[in-house]
Every structure is written in C-alpha cells, then in structure tokens.
Homo-oligomer: A and B are copies of this chain.
C-alpha cells in the first residue's frame, strides 16, 4: 500500500503561481539593493550549534532545529548522554540571517573590504508552534552595511524602503526612533536601569493603549513619579522637527539622549534634502524587541492593508563582538517576504504577466500541423517569448482546457485549413477574440505585443 504523501507541519510547497509572485518580489527587492551597491551573500543552511546557541535567548535556543550527527552517532555514548541532544547533534539549522552574517564577517574579516555591504535572501527555520502566518520554514530578506558609523547608511536604507515599495506599488509609512533617545528617556525619568522594561512596555502602546502601558510600567517596578514623567514625552505632538525640539529640552541632562536626537536630526535632514517622498515619522513608542540595536530603529507598515510591520531594522554597534571582533558598527533592515506577498495579493498588486508562465501555446493537431508549428515555436523562443506546444495531438477541448488552467493568454491553432493558407489562427484566451496571422509574421507580431 502506497503511503499518502504529506509535508511536515509548518512547512510549505510553493506552486508555480506562488513562485512567480515570490520571485517577482525578491527580484524587485534585489534590484534595488544592487542599485545601492549591496552585494549578495549566502551562508550554509546548517551552522555549528556553538555558533547558534545563546544568541537568541533561552526561548530562541529551544526553537532551533537540531540536525542529528550522521553515521554511528550513538556509538560509545551512554544512554544519559544520548538524552542530551548536545552529544548527538553538533549542527543546527539557521534561525535568522543576522548571526550567520556576523559569523561570516568575523571569519572572513581579512578578505573583506569595509564598509561591507551585503544582502542575503535565504530560508530560516524555527521550531515554533505553526499557526496562521507563522511557518517553521520561511525566507528572510536582509540588507546590511557593517564597518562604518556613517549616518549616510541610515539614509540609504530609508531610500531603499522608498524605492522597493514604490516599485511593488505598496503605499507605506516609515516609523523611526533611536535607541539612544529611548535610553535618554529612561535616564530622564530616573530609571536608566530599567531601559529594557520601558522599551518593552511602550512598544505595546499602539496595541494596548496608554493606560495599559502605564499599568505595565508600574508592574515592572517603575515609580508612579517616573510614569507620570513619561506620559507627556509619549504624547509629544507636532512634526518630527517640533518633537525633536521639545525632546531636546526634556533630555537636556542626558548626554546619550542628546546624541540620539542629534543622529535623528542628521538622518531626517539628509532624507528631506534627498527628495524622499515616503512619509517618515519619528515615533517615540517604537522600540523593536531585538536587544542588539543601539542607534536608529526602523519599522514599515502598509497604509492600505492591516498586517503589522512588513519591514524593519536598526543600527547595532557590537554584533560581531560575540565572535571576537568588537566595535564594528553596522545597520540593516529586513523585508518580510511572506507579509509583503499577502499585502500584494490582498490589494491585487501583482502585474498580470507575473501570473502566467507561458505566453503562447501551440495546439497540436497532428504530424503535418506539428511540423509546421515547430519552426514558428523556435522563432518565438529565439525572441525570448515563453512558448510551448502541447506535446500530444489530443482532443482540441483538452488542449484548450490546459491553456486555461495554465493561464496561457495566447493560443496558436494550426489545423488543415491554416496549413493550406499558410497562416495561423491566434486566439486570445482572455477576450475570446480570434485573428489570422500569416506564418511569416507570427513571431514578430506576437513578440511585439
């Protein structure tokens, strides 16, 4: 009895239509990355567990997929040792692209030209509980520059966000903040020690509202006085420049805070002068969870589709320190391909040509007809048009159904009548319209459409 085939939960097959759409997204993003001088990089799917463990917190360690040592992995081990995965597994699947990137930079530091600008588009794996929109295998799409503190890099990332989403046709807004400003706020309200608690709580502002954030801050051990001081900061109004002006009074005593304000002003100044039309908003409640951010943080949301953040990132000052190369500052962002895909499907933004793989199908009506069709088919392919002939002379109905199911827009029919006239009948499957085109003109006519 044959087994009924299935795939592991949380994983996906990508059908041709899905693949065409995904490739369209990746190609669009890649071509923008390239325009800015970012170069592609790929790292192995498996990393040594020593590279991965301890980099994503205790929770992350549990979510690593571990790969069993090959060969006689259990020889010479006690039963107890085998129960500890560490003895039977030395490799794990990539959990994100950031840690392998840091590992790569440290391992190859001698060969690299710094600042090193790379992009990386590869799948990652997480042993998370699968649920709607959360998968155990999914692609990340990262772009980073490492080895410079120049704020021009932040500006380039803003421009990249603008170009990518303009090319994809998605209207977005970019929110920015700066970790140094967040630290300054923590200092200003007398809780420099509770920076993490404060950022975690205020990051939820949009989701749970001010009152709940205040309650959480009290729970996390902030004094009522500190919370009272925080509220007006979170409620600062006006445009970015007005907010920064007011903030520089509030944070006057915090050197780090003022540094953050200064960075923010520099970046926003560049952005304004460069003619970026993307709305960029300073949002003091934006914190983003990842601990390694130390400067600018970014988050992008679609304006016409509710799905959460579709792109985000920030500056980190010591990503490579854990692998022995301290003080290498970098900044990067990551595009959420799955969510971008959902937004584009929801808003029907994929261009029509992305939904079809073959543009022209030659119907196959027998040997003589086939013989006439093959050179025409070759002409089309020579011109780069995706074309095929139905490989068997099956019933016309079956072949037309095939064209329909494959969403092939143009069908070329060469029957005995057409053979005699030296011209093909071309049917547009979208409109049902039919026309006659002489064999000699077929390739040029269909190419130019």
Binding site for B on A (CB under 8 A): 2-8, 11-16, 19-20, 23, 31, 34-48, 50-51, 62-63, 65-68, 70-71, 73-74, 79, 82-83, 85, 88-91, 93, 103-104, 106-108, 111, 113-115, 117-118, 123, 125, 127, 136-137, 145, 148, 150, 152-153, 163, 270, 273-275, 321-324, 357-358, 361, 370-371, 374-375, 378, 381, 384-389, 391-392, 401-402, 405-406
Q: Would you mind naming 23 contact pairs between A and B with Cβ atoms under 8 Å apart?
A: A5-B106, A5-B324, A7-B46, A7-B103, A8-B44, A8-B91, A12-B44, A13-B42, A16-B41, A35-B381, A36-B388, A37-B361, A37-B386, A37-B387, A37-B388, A40-B357, A45-B125, A62-B71, A67-B68, A79-B83, A148-B392, A273-B374, A274-B378
Min CB gap A318→B, angstroms: 11
Most chain B beta carbons < 10 A, residue from A67, A88, A322: A67
| CB-CB under 8 A for A391 and B93, given A70-B63, A83-B82, A323-B3 | no
The answer to whether A391 and B153 touch (CB under 8 A), given A45-B137, A384-B35, is: yes
In the bound complex, residues from chain B placing their C-beta under 8 Å from that of A388 are 36-37, 117
CB distance from A54 to the nearest CB of B (A): 10
* A391 surroundings in chain B (CB, below 8 A): 115, 145, 148, 150, 152-153
Q: Are A41 and B65 in contact (CB under 8 A)?
A: no
Instruction: Give CA–CA (A104, B150) in the complex, Å.
Output: 48
Structural contact, B117 and A89, CB atoms closer than 8 A:
no
Q: Closest chain B residue to A42 by CB distance?
A: B14
Docked CA distance A293–B357 (Å): 28
List B contacts of A38 (CB < 8 A).
357
Check A85/B106 contact, CB under 8 A, given A37-B386, A44-B13, A324-B2: no
B83 adjacent to A34 (CB under 8 Å): no
Q: How many copies does the complex hold?
A: 2
A53 to B: closest C-beta gap in Å:
10
Residue in B39, B83, B270 whose beta carbon sits within 8 Å of that of A20 in the complex: B39
20 extra interface residue pairs, beta carbon distance < 8 Å, beyond A15-B111, A35-B386:
A3-B323, A6-B48, A6-B107, A7-B43, A7-B51, A14-B43, A19-B40, A34-B386, A35-B385, A36-B387, A37-B357, A46-B125, A62-B70, A66-B67, A67-B93, A68-B68, A68-B85, A68-B88, A79-B82, A148-B391
Complex contacts, A7 vs chain B, CB 8 Å: 43-44, 46-48, 51, 103, 107
State A127–B103 Cα separation when bound (angstroms).
23
Q: Assess A68 versus B65: contact at CB under 8 Å? Given A13-B41, A36-B381, A323-B5.
A: yes
The answer on a CB contact under 8 Å between A83 and B90 is no
**What are the residues of chain B within 8 A of A384 when measuring CB–CB?**
31, 35
Interfacial chain B residues near A115, Cβ < 8 Å: 391
CB distance from A222 to the nearest CB of B (A): 35
Chain B's nearest CB lies how many Å from the CB of A380?
8
* Chain B residues closer than 8 Å to A273, beta-carbon distance: 371, 374
Contact of A392 among B16, B150, B324 (CB under 8 A): B150
> Which residues in B have their C-beta under 8 angstroms from that of A45?
11, 45, 93, 123, 125, 137
Give min CB distance, A272 to chain B, whole Å.
12
The answer on a CB contact under 8 Å between A3 and B50 is yes
Residues of B contacting A63 in the complex (Cβ-Cβ under 8 angstroms):
70
Residues of chain B within 8 A of A108, CB atoms compared: 13, 15
CA gap between A406 and B38 in the complex, in Å: 11
Which residues of chain B come closer than 8 Å to A270, judged between CB atoms? Answer: 374
> In the complex, which residue of chain B has the Cβ closest to the Cβ of A107?
B5
Residues in B with CB closer than 8 Å to A114 are 402
**Residues from chain B with Cβ under 8 Å of A123 in the complex:** 45
CB distance from A29 to the nearest CB of B (A): 14
| Cα–Cα, bound, A386→B381 (Å) | 30
A155–B83 Cα gap in the complex (Å)? 55
- Residues in B whose Cβ lies below 8 Å from that of A137: 44-46
Q: Given the known inter-chain contacts A3-B50, A3-B323, A127-B71, please indicate yes or no for A13 contacting B43, CB distance below 8 A.
A: yes
CB contacts (< 8 Å) of A386 on chain B: these are 34-37
Contact across chains for A103 and B5 when beta carbons are under 8 A apart: yes
